Amino acid sequence: MSYLTRENTYLSPERSISWIARRYPGAVFYSRIIWIIIKASRLAKRGRYKDEDWVRSSIASVRALESVGGRFEIHNLSVIDTLDSPCVFISNHMSVLETFVLPCLIQPRHNVTFVIKESLIDYPFFKYVMRSRNPIVVGRSNPREDLKTVLKEGENRLNAGISVIIFPQTTRSAVFDEEKFNSLGVKLARRAKVPVVPIALKTDAWGVGSRIKDGGKIQPAKPVYITFGDPFPVKGSGKEEHLQVVDFIAGNMKVFIEKEGAGG
């Protein structure tokens, strides 16, 4: 299995950036991403897109952003190696970038899938890739039905040894709004009796577009920050654990913003 890194921390290495990538970062980045998706889709359509291929595509996506000057700072990866069971990864959701990057951080260490919205399995080309990953699909129009789906299908995946990544926000947002961050991930972990691993991330280097949501502005000057929290079990009602996730993300978001402002 390929790894972006086997270390606890990943910092993008210094590299020379071509003049065209500096001048037109969006064009260069999207051309690379589209090609990554097309190659992955061809394999997935034939039923040949395996875990290793998913990780390679994910690493290639990291390299695509780095090739136009993007920088990644990823911390506490070793917590994934300490897990002796599947878990529920609970993360804030800022852009489509995390969907591309998280697989190469987690899948080499633990089998994993996503909770995704229904529209993603209908995207041209991308749909074959997402369907091959055995995701949990929700409609986002009926919260009660989505809850039932996530609890039932999520428990099935976890019982089969597959960890689940869930973004408990209603939509992507550059600002972390605690009131819009539901406790669905904690409920799933409680039901399946598996630990929670919180993830705090800042990925607005890939912006959210106004017309095409996944086609936003690419801003390499904005560092990408991802930090994993230590795993913990869910006890009782799960209210305290939900607050623990929220506090972890909110606290790290402040750190990310301060570091970015300081040029770090």
Within a domain: 161:
yes
Within a domain: 179:
yes
Q: What is the pTM of this model?
A: 0.95
Within a domain: 3:
no
Within a domain: 169:
yes
Domain count within the chain: 1
**The pair of three-digit structure tokens given for residue 61, joined into one six-digit string:** 């996506």
Within a domain: 261:
no
Tell me, what's the pLDDT at 183? 94
Within a domain: 263:
no
Tell me, what's the pLDDT at 9? 98
d(CA 114, CA 107): 11
Tell me, what's the pLDDT at 213? 77
Within a domain: 260:
no
Tell me, what's the pLDDT at 165? 98
Tell me, what's the pLDDT at 175? 85
Structural domain containing residue 48: 10-255
Tell me, what's the pLDDT at 127? 86
CB atoms within 10 A of CB 96: 21
What is the CATH classification number for the domain harbouring 229? 3.40.1130
Tell me, what's the pLDDT at 35? 96
pLDDT along the chain (264 residues), means of 10: 95 96 97 96 96 98 98 97 96 95 97 90 82 90 87 97 93 85 95 98 91 86 98 95 97 96 81
Within a domain: 188:
yes
